[in-house]
Copies of this chain bind each other. A is one copy, B any other.
């Protein structure tokens, strides 16, 4: 992060024709983007959206009412342009790519052993990193994977403690019996793997889309590209990075406060305030794509507004 650019952006905000601070979060977002893009007037000429998809061995435990084939069906839907994320990326002007990660070969059931080997985890992190365009001005991250709200709850619980029941929610459609099952399955997985170091936890509990998200976040960090994480599952995917060093996520915003109850707890634990709260619980990067619209509004004001001196308005 470049503090000089952030300070220059802050000083500019204070000269724009509005009461100081009256654009609230928009001002913060403009200053944040200035710091990471290293320029007083940041811009989003190219926004990249990446959706990673994976399948999960823990589905053998019956944690999701939908069959795992839905993951590949939804990937086909993304590729045909029929999903919510396609419409939202078009509206927010983001270039969408979908990366399907060996869907015909689910990870192992984490209640019986590690979901992935460490070698596969690192390889998948590299696949995520390689998907990032180093020329992007902003990166939107999303995910798809039947069963992955259980994976998210396990990663969050392992990183931040508490009871399994604090982290599970209805996901794509679990009823209350399903919720109780998810909590038991998460508790089993966490009991088995929580003593491991953070990246080994990612391997043991995570899925491929979680590892790819971690890799993409790290690659964006290296390229100083600010990141919009989506909701619960996408945020939870980065919990192992937070457990390693919270500063690894300093370039990340959370786009949307999910309806999944674990997300508020997770954002608190990670010190992130979501940009939007629209009662959504879809994933795919949908909340992050909507938040991109707000970022575009913030930058339009930051770049396009007149200063008090330019406009001849009293009060500057």
Interface of A toward B, CB cutoff 8 Å: 16-20, 22-26, 66-67, 69-70, 73-74, 76-77, 80-84, 86-88, 90-92, 172-173, 259, 275-282, 286, 289-290, 293-294, 296-297, 300-301, 303-306, 310-315
Contact = CB atoms under 8 A, between A and B. Distances in A.
B172 A281 contact: no
A80 B315 CA distance: 18
B82 A17 contact: yes
Contacts of A297: 87-88, 91-92, 289-290, 293
Contact of A314 (B69, B82, B92, B294): B69
Contact of A306 (B22, B66, B83, B91): B83
B276 A276 contact: yes
Given A67-B314, A87-B297, A301-B87, A77 B278 contact: no
A314 B303 CA distance: 46
Contacts of A312: 73, 76
Contact of A18 (B23, B282, B304): B282
Contacts of A276: 276, 294
Highest count of chain B CB atoms <10 Å: which of A18, A19, A92, A311? A18
12 contacts: A16-B84, A17-B74, A17-B82, A23-B286, A66-B314, A70-B313, A77-B313, A80-B306, A86-B305, A88-B300, A90-B304, A278-B294
A123 B37 CA distance: 51
B82 A24 contact: no
Contacts of A290: 293-294, 297
Contact of A24 (B88, B281, B293): B281
A312 B293 CA distance: 30
Highest count of chain B CB atoms <10 Å: which of A24, A276, A277? A24
Closest 10 A/B residue pairs (Cβ):
A82-B306, A24-B279, A87-B300, A24-B280, A22-B282, A87-B304, A25-B278, A293-B293, A19-B172, A73-B313
B305 A82 contact: yes
B280 A23 contact: yes
B301 A88 contact: yes
A207 to B, nearest CB: 19
Given A66-B314, A82-B310, A306-B77, A278 B24 contact: yes
A23 B293 contact: no
A281 B22 contact: yes
Given A24-B280, A24-B281, A282-B23, A315 B84 contact: no
Contacts of A294: 276, 278, 290, 293
A79 to B, nearest CB: 10
Contacts of A24: 259, 278-281
A137 B14 CA distance: 35
A283 to B, nearest CB: 8
Given A23-B282, A83-B306, 19 more contacts: A18-B84, A19-B282, A22-B282, A23-B84, A23-B280, A24-B259, A24-B278, A25-B278, A25-B279, A25-B280, A77-B313, A80-B311, A82-B306, A82-B311, A87-B305, A90-B300, A91-B293, A91-B297, A290-B293
